[in-house]
Structure 1
Amino acid sequence: MWGRFLLNTVVPGRARLIWNYRTFFTMQLKTKEFESLFTDGLNSIAELFAKNQFELRIAGGAVRDLLSGKRPDDVDFATTATPDEMKCMFQAAGVRMINNKGEKHGTITARIHNENFEVTTLRVDVETDGRHAEVEFTTDWKKDAERRDLTINSMFFGLDGTLYDYFSGYEDLKNKKVRFVGSASQRIQEDYLRILRYFRFYGRVAERAGEHEPETLQAIRENARGLAAISGERIWVELKKTLVGNHAAHLMEVIYELDLAQFMGLPVEANIEELKRVWEQSHNWSPKPMTLLSALFRSSEDVDRLDLRLKISREEKNLGLFLVKHRRDLVKCQDQPNSLKPYTDFIIDSREPDAHSKMCELLKYQGEEQLLAEMQRWTIPRFPVSGHDLRKMGITSGKEIGIILQNLRDVWKESHYQMDKEELLSSVTKS
Structure 2
Amino acid sequence: MTMFLLFVQMWSRILSPRVISRTGFYWRSIFTMRLKTSEFQSLFNDGLNGLAEVFEKHQHELRIAGGAVRDLLSGKRPEDVDFATTATPEEMKRMFQSAGIRMINNKGEKHGTITARLHNENFEVTTLRVDVQTDGRHAEVEFTTDWQKDAERRDLTINSMFLGLDGTLYDYFKGYDDLQNRKVRFVGSAEQRIQEDYLRILRYFRFYGRVALEPDDHEPETLAAIRENGRGLAAISGERIWVEIKKMVVGNHAAHLLELMYSLELAQYIGIPPDGNVEEMKRVWQNAKDHSPKPMTILAALFHCPEEVEKMDLRLKVSREEKNLALFLVKFRRELRKSQDDPDSLKPFTDFIIDNRELDSQSKVCELLKYQGEEKLLKELCRWSTPRFPVNGHDLRRMGITSGKEIGATLQKLRDIWKTSRYQMDKDELLSYVKP
Which band: TM-score by shorter chain? over 0.9
Aligned residues: 418
Which residue is 1:133 aligned to?
139
Map 1:21-60 onto structure 2 (within 5 A). 22-60=28-66
Question: Secondary structure at the residue paired with 1:108?
Answer: strand
SS at 1:120 equivalent = strand
State the one-letter code of the partner of 1:88: R
**TM-score scaled to structure 2, two decimals?**
0.94
For residue 360 of structure 2, what is the aligned residue in structure 1? 354
How far the C-alpha of 1:113 sits from its partner, in A, is: 0.6
Question: Which aligned pairs between 1:147-226 and structure 2 lie closer than 5 A?
Answer: 147-226=153-232
Contact 1:364 1:372 (C-alpha < 8 Å) held by counterparts: yes
- 1:45 is displaced (CA, Å) by 0.3
Q: Is contact 2:128–2:144 with CA below 8 Å preserved after alignment?
A: yes
The amino acid of 2:226's aligned partner reads I
Residues 1:391 and 2:397 are matched in the alignment: yes
Aligned to 2:273: 267
Aligned-partner Cα distance in 1 for 2:302–2:433: 48
For each residue in 1:187-229, what CA deviation from the matched residue of structure 2 results, as whole angstroms up to 9, or x when unmatched? Answer: 0000000000000000000001000000000000000110000
CA distance in 1, matches of 2:142, 2:415: 68
1:239 and 2:245 are equivalent in the alignment: yes
User: What is the CA deviation profile of residues 341-400 of structure 1, one whole-angstrom value per residue up to 9, with x for unaligned ones?
Assistant: 000000110154511110000000000000000111111111110010011111112222
1:23, CA displacement in angstroms? 2.8
Give the one of 14, 21, 25 matched to 1:5: 14
- Out of 404, 407, 411, the residue aligned to residue 417 of structure 2 is 411
Tell me the residue number matched to 1:13.
Answer: none
Q: Which amino acid is the alignment partner of residue 94 of structure 1?
A: G
Q: Secondary structure at the match of 1:119?
A: strand
Counterpart of 1:326 in structure 2 is: 332
CA contact (8 A) 2:30 2:169 kept: no
* Residue matched to 2:5: none
Q: For each residue in 1:315-336, what CA deviation from the matched residue of structure 2 results, as whole angstroms up to 9, or x when unmatched?
A: 0000000000000010000010
| Cα distance, 1:6–1:213 mapped onto 2, change above 3 Å | closer
Gaps (5+ residues) in structure 2? 1-7, 18-26
Q: Residue 17 of structure 1 corresponds to which residue in structure 2?
A: none
C-alpha contact (below 8 Å) 1:26/1:165 kept by paired residues:
no
Query: Given residue 14 of structure 2, which amino acid in structure 1 is its aligned partner?
Result: F
Instruction: Report if aligned partners of 1:348, 1:380 keep a CA contact under 8 Å in 2.
Output: yes
Instruction: Give the Cα separation in 1 of the matches to 2:103 and 2:12.
Output: 39
* Aligned positions of 1:85-124 closer than 5 A: 85-124=91-130
Aligned residue in 1 for 2:87: 81
How do 1:278-297 and structure 2 match up within 5 A? 278-297=284-303
Q: Which of 379, 382, 385 in structure 2 is aligned with 1:376? A: 382
Structure 1 segments (4+ residues) deviating >2 Å:
1-8, 21-26
Structure 1 unaligned spans of 5+: 9-20
- C-alpha deviations, 1:248-295, integer Å up to 9, x for none? 000000000000000011101110000000011210001100000000
Matched, 1:345 2:373: no
User: Which sits farther off after the overlay, 363-372 or 395-404?
Assistant: 395-404
Distance 2:358 2:254 in 1: 29
- Separation in 2 of the partners of 1:400 and 1:101? 60
Structure 2: distance between partners of 1:3 and 1:238: 39
Partner amino acid, structure 1, of 2:239: E
Q: Distance in 2 between matches of 1:5 and 1:62?
A: 30
CA offsets per residue over residues 84-106 of structure 1, 9 Å max, x none? 00001001110000112111000
With normalisation by structure 1, the TM-score equals: 0.95
Mapped contact 2:206–2:247 kept (Cα < 8 A)? yes
The share of aligned pairs that are identical, in percent, is: 76
Q: Residues of 1 paired with 2:405 and 2:362: CA distance?
A: 30
Query: Residues of 1 paired with 2:422 and 2:186: CA distance?
Result: 57
Q: For the Cα contact (< 8 Å) 1:24–1:167, is it kept in 2?
A: no
Structure 1 residue 5: Cα displacement: 2.6
SS in structure 2 of the partner of residue 160 of structure 1: coil
- Counterpart of 1:230, as a letter, is I
